[in-house]
Amino acid sequence: MVEKIAIRDAYGKALLNLGKKNEKVVVLESDVGNSTKSILFGKEFPKRYFNVGISEFNMVSMSAGFACEGFIPFINTFAVFMTTRGADPMQSLIAYDKLNVKIAGTYAGLSDSYDGASHQAITDISFVRSIPNMTVISVSDPIETEKAVEAIAEYDGPVYLRLSRAAAPIIFDENYDFKIGKGVQLRTGKDVAIIATGTILHNALEAAELLKEVGIEATVINIHTIKPIDEEIIINAAKFTGAVVTVEEHSIHGGLGSAVSEVLSKYCPTPMEFVGAVDFAESGDYNQLLEKYGYGPKAIVEKVKMVINKKTN
């Protein structure tokens, strides 16, 4: 049994540590601090913690003001509300003026499983990815979460940080070198490249194991930075394998799959298949939902077989 740590716990801890190191960090919360775990920062630094109640539009607008003042605001709520209710000031203030705000959208994908489709985020990446100036990061495990929080605090500019609610298996170790914009190749195989983002990366790795059993060798790549995307690692993997499957807990329209296909259609047209949302999901156990809606390792294996059939040679 692999060790699992909830991404939100890793995030809360990382934010607290950042607050100790950097007095410029302020944290804004919209009444879900016990869920996002921003409360850990709030307890230690009450003067730099602003809970604005249930008003995401105002939280995002306020963060722009803090950034104008030279602070580094981390703002927190569920990804689905951040990118719908907070969308206007995110685009017209933060992105337009390239303000140094870190936008943490948590409970991404289907991870808020029991709360149902109203609380699950399957459109956030496509929105934030289309906004000029925005960097988009989606983390896959607790270590990557901690490293990403440190890295985005160092980077001067707006960042959307996509976080899962789920307890995620630890994939990386403390020596993991996280660099914004650099993809990570976790496995090399000549038959297919599975390109994944977020905690669902773990299922991609499990799928690669299942594929090995039937003689299919898979490359697995973690794209934690969806924008700017690491074109080189994607092109190289496509050239090496000749077939690509993208895996994300997000709509197949506008997310990682779209980003990868934009790169490949331009530089290296390659047969692709997409694992992701085609419809709203529902309430239920997280792993059961992932199975039902086609995100499980077996579903990924099926997509791999489909794309391999599309190879011309």
Partner 1 sequence: MTKERKEELKNLCFKFRNDLIDLLYSIQTGHPGGSLSSTEIITTLFFEEMNIDPKNPNKEGRDRFIMSKGHGCPMLYLNMAEKGYFPKEDLKTLRQVDSYLQGHPCAHKTPGIELSTGPLGIGLGAGLGMALGEKLKNSTANIYVLLGDGEIQEGGIWEAAMAASKFKVNNLIAILDNNGVQLDGTLEEIMPMGNIGNKFEAFGWNVIHCDGHDVESISDAINQAKKSKDKPTIIIAKTVKGKGISFMEGKNTWHGKPIGEEEYKLAKAELEGVV
**Amino acid identity for residue 297 in this structure:** P
CA nearest 293: which of 272, 270, 309, 276?
276
- Least distance from partner 1 to the Cβ atom of residue 88, Å: 6
Q: Which of residues 81-120 bind partner 1 (CB under 8 A)?
A: 88-89, 92-93, 96-98
* 61 contacts partner 1 (rule: CB under 8 A): yes
Q: Which of 3, 29, 44, 56 is catalytic?
A: 56
In whole angstroms, what is the distance from residue 281 CA to residue 285 CA?
12
**Of 3, 47, 215, 279, the one binding partner 1 by CB under 8 A:** 47
**Residue 28 or 256: which CB sits closer to partner 1?**
28
> Using alpha carbons only, what angle is made at residue 265 by residues 132 and 188, rounded to the nearest 5 degrees?
100
Of positions 11, 41, 49, 66, contacts partner 1 by CB under 8 A: 66
Pairing of strands 192-196, 225-227: unpaired
> Given candidates 17, 31, 57, 262, which one binds partner 1 under the rule CB under 8 A?
57
Nearer to partner 1, 20 or 212 (CB): 20
Name the one range near partner 1 by CB under 8 A: 48-56, 177-185, 242-250, 291-299.
48-56
Which two three-digit tokens encode residue 93? 């203030």
Order across the sheet with 272-277: list the strands: 184-187, 218-222, 192-196, 244-251, 272-277
Candidates 53-61, 153-161, 176-184, 216-224: pick the segment binding partner 1 (CB under 8 A): 53-61
Q: Are strands 184-187 and 218-222 parallel, antiparallel or unpaired?
A: antiparallel
- How many helices and strands (H and E) does the chain possess? 13, 14
Residues in contact with partner 1 by CB under 8 A are 26, 47-48, 50, 52-53, 55, 57-58, 60-71, 73, 88-89, 92-93, 96-98
Q: Which residues are designated catalytic?
A: 56
